[in-house]
Structure 1
């Protein structure tokens, strides 16, 4: 079967109304495969616009590395010198008999490297039960208060998926003197020609916007509109999940990474910076594990359970060949509405698969991802 045939069958089996998938290499992108509908009955198209959610993290990580190259950010200096909100990190130690939060000072400062590698100790309420309990009430998206939380462990001691990249976005703003959306437009999406990717749902994008779906009690998908990133009108712009965009645009970003930091005459990062970003930064720690406190939002998942997955400066890294085909040293991540990407330097393959439904890591969505990956490597 073709990749399109494989995807069509897998989506039907999962009850997911539509998706856009695209593969490419450092040299060129293939043709986007658009299947099914956008959820509102309109046909899915190659230029359909999705909430990229945590696929934003890779873009913001590149922005931070641009400022490292420029000498305006430093990977291993205390980031609290630039961001006062991280100047005195406190580690959660438990709760007293009345349920009050107990903390102690962190053993060491948080650095930009900790933030980019998710070893800062900062978590997510929907992943970490202790963090959700410490906060007491769900955070209000787009508020700085949503970023004020104790650490789950001392910086550098463990890996935990969380709000670290939102803080990276604030570091980009503080170091550059520009809003995060402006820096990214000027230095990444603009030069790469990613015209349909940004933090705002413009009128043009709204006309092609994919409706988010969620599993109902009977397992079928029903419309469930949700704003993951919050746009640009909040107290901060979400570097951890605020972007929307298309598969074609994101492929240009992945091709830049595969090509050592530049394509079509546009240099975004140096080859040395790309090498650092795609190198495991966390030693023998295990990345990619997520429990859940909100199963309607995200299922529990462990990426690459058959190996000890690593993390670079913005990406999950599988150190061995994956079960569905990707080579050792491939880099990847995803967004909470079941958007996925990976790039495989050894095979010179990049791939994007965009769906738009909850919960994250839904078994049906993972089955579609697995079928897509196997088809890509069989082609």
Structure 2
């Protein structure tokens, strides 16, 4: 159990963040050696209606979707259905005959993007930016959004195929850049399995783990549990945000046609805990084995070469970390900007949903929040510093 002092500090730190209108509300959970040792909720899921955060509040995961997608790919790997050096064009034809930007010009790539590149974000795909690849991605996301509520919404496979038809920021494997790689991985799972991505996840991951509140959309009876998104506002402190970012329906109130492997899932803290505990248990939970221990070991290891790491090292708040299979991996705790453990891994989302697993400590931390442009926030690091310092 946590010491009473640590519990008081966690509750006070979270309450202070809510009082300062940094966040509207949050769920926070600590699991130690497979057992929940702390859970706390505070604040609002809907400020305007006075609806408070509860344990069954539903949150948009955004990029915390990515480790789920990596798990799906690892399941295909274990079954011999894919090879990590398979060219993406084998499954997504748009990735044939690609070009990459070099010195401001587009030149043919020396080798095709492969699945390994996608897993480690070394593909040259990006979320946007000023270079040709970034401009292409921006335009594609604008089209995705404009078609979202129309008669012809873009599908998972169409989006991935269109991405492949655009330029890359760099030669595959030559650097690291955070981007749309996981969306393409979701489309590959569709192509290989012959199922919609949502169907594969429901059958192979969510069903077996008992994750009943996780998916790409919400049935009507669950929508009242969805937490609102808030953004910073100079006058009010926080104001409601309702845009559908990256092609993900803000209200999750209709079946998704574009099922984003990089950003599309919603979940609860208890469902997320089932997924993170499965990884901590070397691929199994309650007698269900999704992945073999050797596969989990591979999936949670740093995957970047020395020159790829140089691209990742520009992410200042992730000093002391590397990257692999859609997750951060702590490689040097002494260089990190927060307390942590060697080999600790996890990821967060654009709206602040966050998890970390530290195998050497037998520790999982989960933090669920909905704040625009949040990622890993100062309050997230404050909370985890309290936890790690009390071990």
CA contact (8 A) 1:287 1:310 kept: no
Say yes or no: does 1:262 pair with 2:279: no
Say yes or no: does 1:111 pair with 2:114: yes
Shift in alpha-carbon separation, 1:89–1:217, aligned structure 2, 3 A: farther
Query: Any idea what SS the aligned residue of 1:215 has?
Result: strand
CA distance in 2, matches of 1:151, 1:215: 33
1:87 is aligned to 96
1:44 is aligned to 53
CA distance in 2, matches of 1:340, 1:288: 23
1:10 is aligned to 17
Q: What pairs with 1:198-277 in structure 2 (closer than 5 Å)?
A: 198-218=215-235, 220-228=237-245, 229-230=248-249, 233=255, 235-277=257-299
- Structure 2 residue runs of 5 or longer lacking an equivalent are 149-153
Larger mean Cα displacement after TM superposition, 196-205 or 140-149: 140-149
TM-score, normalised with respect to structure 1:
0.87
| Distance apart, 1:159 and its partner CA | 0.7
CA distance in 1, matches of 2:340, 2:114: 31
TM-score, normalised with respect to structure 2:
0.85
Shift in alpha-carbon separation, 1:135–1:324, aligned structure 2, 3 A: closer
1:286 to 278, 288, 309: 309
CA distance in 1, matches of 2:278, 2:32: 9
2:163 is aligned to 147
1:329 is aligned to 343
Larger mean Cα displacement after TM superposition, 15-24 or 224-233: 224-233
- Structure 1 residue runs of 5 or longer lacking an equivalent are 96-101, 292-300
Query: Any idea what SS the aligned residue of 2:20 has?
Result: helix
| More helix as a share of residues | 2
Shift in alpha-carbon separation, 1:237–1:287, aligned structure 2, 3 A: farther
Shift in alpha-carbon separation, 1:366–1:123, aligned structure 2, 3 A: same
1:378 is aligned to 389
1:295 is aligned to none
How many pairs are equivalent? Answer: 357
1:296 is aligned to none
Query: Any idea what SS the aligned residue of 1:174 has?
Result: helix
CA distance in 2, matches of 1:89, 1:237: 24
CA deviation string 1:83-126 (max 9, x = no partner): 2122222112366xxxxxx421111111111101101110111x
1:121 to 108, 121, 124: 124
1:54 to 56, 63, 66: 63
| Distance apart, 1:288 and its partner CA | 8.3
| Distance apart, 1:290 and its partner CA | 9.8
CA contact (8 A) 1:192 1:252 kept: yes
Shift in alpha-carbon separation, 1:261–1:122, aligned structure 2, 3 A: same
Query: Any idea what SS the aligned residue of 1:54 has?
Result: helix
Say yes or no: does 1:317 pair with 2:334: no
